[in-house]
Chain A
Amino acid sequence: MRRKASLVLLACAVLCAALAPLLRWYAFPRLARIPANQYQDMVLEARGATLLDYGTMRAKKVSGVTIVQTLKGDVDAAKRIERTAGRPVVVWDSLSYVQGPDGKMVSKVPERYIFDAHSQDPVHATGEMVDGDPVTRQGIEFKWPFLTQKRDYEYFDAQTRTTNPIHYKGTRTFRGLKVYYFEQAIPWTKVPMPKTMPIQGITPESVANTGTTRWYSTVRRFWVEPVTGAPVYGEELHKEELRGGTLLGGRDRVTAFAGDVKMREDYIEHTVALVKHNRTLVLMLTSYVPWGSLTAGALLLALSLCLEARARRPQDPAPTEPAEPEPVSA
């Protein structure tokens, strides 16, 4: 009976011990993926921003500018691209919609971002674009890979359509979460006019005909939770100028937008709660279950060996009763 039990325990020990590496290195890359059907919105605000009044073509201080950013996964497009890419793909359609204090549209920039669902590596396919312009992204955008490392990453900037390093600047604590802080500075760069302009009748082509060009610089900061790779907070010191041409009435340059863009408080709370929940799920696959099953495997093996040793121990001799004396015949 003991030998049977020890064999069962041995099988369980091997099961548990084998689960640890299988979960970490086989199951984790296949199960920890961005869902193809993700839908997420984010609201950012720039209080006390400077905004161009297209009526007078002069910059003015406004109470605030709001940026609504939506990400929406296109499941059918992801499945179609997966067939040729040979790996799990996520296709995000995003819209950055900027609204002035009067509720009117300032700009809207759509994007299509295609990437590997686990590694976050960009995948190139037809339809990848920023504001209708085909692009070939390098590096990451919006989100870092799972198990983010303490190093610089390449980050795609949608305005300039270029990829530049985003630097790891240290580990911080943000609302009880350990986060990695990243920073990227984009120097003044000439960028295309948005396809959708805030004034009807004005098109990027008509502005281009005046000789006026649009310039942009930014410093973006992200606080990234390293297990999930999700930014829990972000800020951007964003500046845009129109330069030269006849549109500015002889002026050299005019500010089109300047502001410190920050996530709205309720969205920070929501994001932190979501990331805390997802972090636990990822840690289950990378840490909790592998280490737990490895420990259970070791304990079960020890128990199995113990039982086996007891089963093999020679039995104690049965107490012998004193032989009854034989009757002695004289």
Chain B
Amino acid sequence: MRALIAAATGLALAFALVLAMTAMGTPTGRTSPKPLLTTVPSHP
């Protein structure tokens, strides 16, 4: 019974960890203020 509880705890932690990671997601940020280029940049 105690082994079952330990396994369930591990599983719950894994779900919590992954859900927290995906909930944070990737930051969207803001639209860059830089313009679409009409001159040749000298370097990347």
Given A41-B44, A267-B44, A270-B44, does the pair A68, B39 have CB atoms closer than 8 Å? Answer: yes
Given A10-B3, A22-B18, A75-B28, does the pair A97, B11 have CB atoms closer than 8 Å? Answer: no
State A13–B30 Cα separation when bound (angstroms): 41
Contact B21 A31 (CB under 8 A): yes
Closest to B14 in A: A18
A-B contact pairs, 6 of them (CB 8 A): A11-B7, A11-B10, A22-B14, A27-B22, A33-B26, A97-B38
Is there a chain B Cβ closer than 8 Å to A110's Cβ?
yes
Contact A30 B13 (CB under 8 A): no
Given contacts A15-B14, A18-B11, 16 further A-B contacts (CB under 8 A): A3-B2, A10-B6, A10-B10, A15-B11, A15-B17, A16-B10, A27-B18, A31-B26, A37-B31, A39-B32, A41-B44, A73-B31, A75-B30, A94-B36, A110-B36, A266-B44
Could you tell me which B residues sit within 8 Å of A by CB distance?
Answer: 2-3, 6-7, 9-11, 13-15, 17-18, 21-22, 25-32, 34-41, 43-44
Is there a chain B Cβ closer than 8 Å to A306's Cβ?
no
Is there a chain B Cβ closer than 8 Å to A221's Cβ?
no
Number of interface residues of A (CB under 8 A): 47
State A238–B6 Cα separation when bound (angstroms): 64
State A3–B2 Cα separation when bound (angstroms): 10
State A22–B11 Cα separation when bound (angstroms): 11
Is there a chain B Cβ closer than 8 Å to A76's Cβ?
yes
Shortest Cβ gap from A225 to chain B (Å): 17
| A contact residues around B2 at 8 Å (CB) | 3, 7
Closest to A19 in B: B14
State A41–B32 Cα separation when bound (angstroms): 12
